[in-house]
Structure 1
């Protein structure tokens, strides 16, 4: 089964548990990019369409792209005014200089070739337009890592090291290496607050049986973050960077 098929299978649960969690990042990017009514904005790796809906709230002309058919279906329902297509970074299906802004939230790391992906974003953004990328910050800044590390250890695996995009300066370097001028970069707090054990397990295990052997591992690892009311508060952080495309013809 392909990665796109895997994402399609968990689209509904992922949207329920995680779709709205990056909203603080979405709002920060819209401000940093100066998105106003009428702006043409493409969200690559749009998932279940929450950023597209936020764009619609501002009156922007939103478009979305995602390789998973299940995510595309949910995005179209979440943001019916947006133009959502199935596809990937390898070949963005819009003409040159179509958009004022291109965004990618927790998506660039899935590209086969990061440099080629940014080149495609540059192709479809107008000269002087902006590209904004964001993803999870380094593991030490994310309480979720305690759960992920516990699950890896229970399976006899090692927790993967942070990729360059998660580390300080990584996103900025990608944009600057592609010839964009850095507009803004920073971090955004993205807390996750599952209401109870069931919500916690659904969010972590997604397509797995919430009563599987992994459930005990998850609950034990999450115990330090449990609130007196039975819910949880896990503090997490995203990094983001915004770059401006050259005005001169490329």
Structure 2
């Protein structure tokens, strides 16, 4: 199956961004990892695949539980970073919806926010199911939509500054999208052929600093960073000013940012 325009855009957006991602957004995404592993029943001796490993946070956590871990990512910079993070894992360059593994190769397959970054989520889930042994579990997370207040902070600042989304950043095709709700993600797993699909919502406050939270987008990380990178200098400066203003709503007594976030965690059996 060929890559979509969305897939190609994602590859470009994340190219060379591993270190910038590790310094900021990776800390946010780490919150869901315990729930992801628990839902998949990861334990010692299991063969586990971490699809879309990024900087290797999930792979490292699975190794700590004694699992035999294989990790893949579509971005070479992420693969190199994950290999350094988890030298005991088999880290490879590969992308959904086509993985270089035999049917039923793994006891559990994990995807922490990987479905947010693929052009065909249903096909991606079918592939995750294919490489999972019968009875094994697939466990995934996605961001909720609409996003929680803390998650929306950067987008609000960029919108208030009048930033325009560039044409080279396409949205997911309507026919490939799905409701980012418990019901919507549960249905998606069922459509992919996973049995006993279930989904819960995880909510938490992410503690960070203004400098750290702005540094990722300022370095071009994720879609929001790509939008910022394409703006004239005046718009970029205005986005930063709006960001600083909005941060007042989320600043605690100690000066830290306390950002409410929410994600969906779902699992099903192959």
Report Cα offsets for 1:203-229 as digits up to 9, x if no partner.
Answer: 343337999513212212222001222
Structure 1 runs of 4+ with >6 Å offset: 208-211
* 1:90 is the counterpart of 2:104: no
* 1:221 is the counterpart of 2:246: yes
Which residue, out of 180, 185, 188, partners 1:174?
188
Which residue, out of 64, 78, 88, partners 1:71?
78
- If the length of structure 1 is used for normalisation, what is the TM-score? 0.88
Which residues in structure 2 correspond to 1:19-168 (within 5 Å)? 19-157=26-164, 164-168=178-182
Deviation at 1:15, TM superposition (A): 0.9
Report Cα offsets for 1:102-123 as digits up to 9, x if no partner.
Answer: 1111111322222221221121
Question: Alignment RMSD, CA only?
Answer: 2.5
Deviation at 1:183, TM superposition (A): 5.0
Deviation at 1:153, TM superposition (A): 3.4
Which residue, out of 194, 197, 203, partners 1:189?
203
SS of 2:23's partner is helix
Unaligned runs of 5+ in 2: 1-7, 166-170
C-alpha contact 1:186 1:241 (8 A) present in aligned 2? yes
Instruction: Name the CA distance, whole Å, in 2 between partners of 1:74 and 1:87.
Output: 15
Instruction: Name the CA distance, whole Å, in 2 between partners of 1:74 and 1:191.
Output: 27
* 1:202 is the counterpart of 2:212: no
SS of 2:202's partner is strand
Residue aligning to 2:3 = none
Report Cα offsets for 1:130-177 as digits up to 9, x if no partner.
Answer: 11110111235342213312312323548x899635223121111111
* 1:16 is the counterpart of 2:30: no
Residues 1:190 and 1:67: Cα distance change in structure 2 (over 3 Å)? farther
Residue correspondences, number: 243
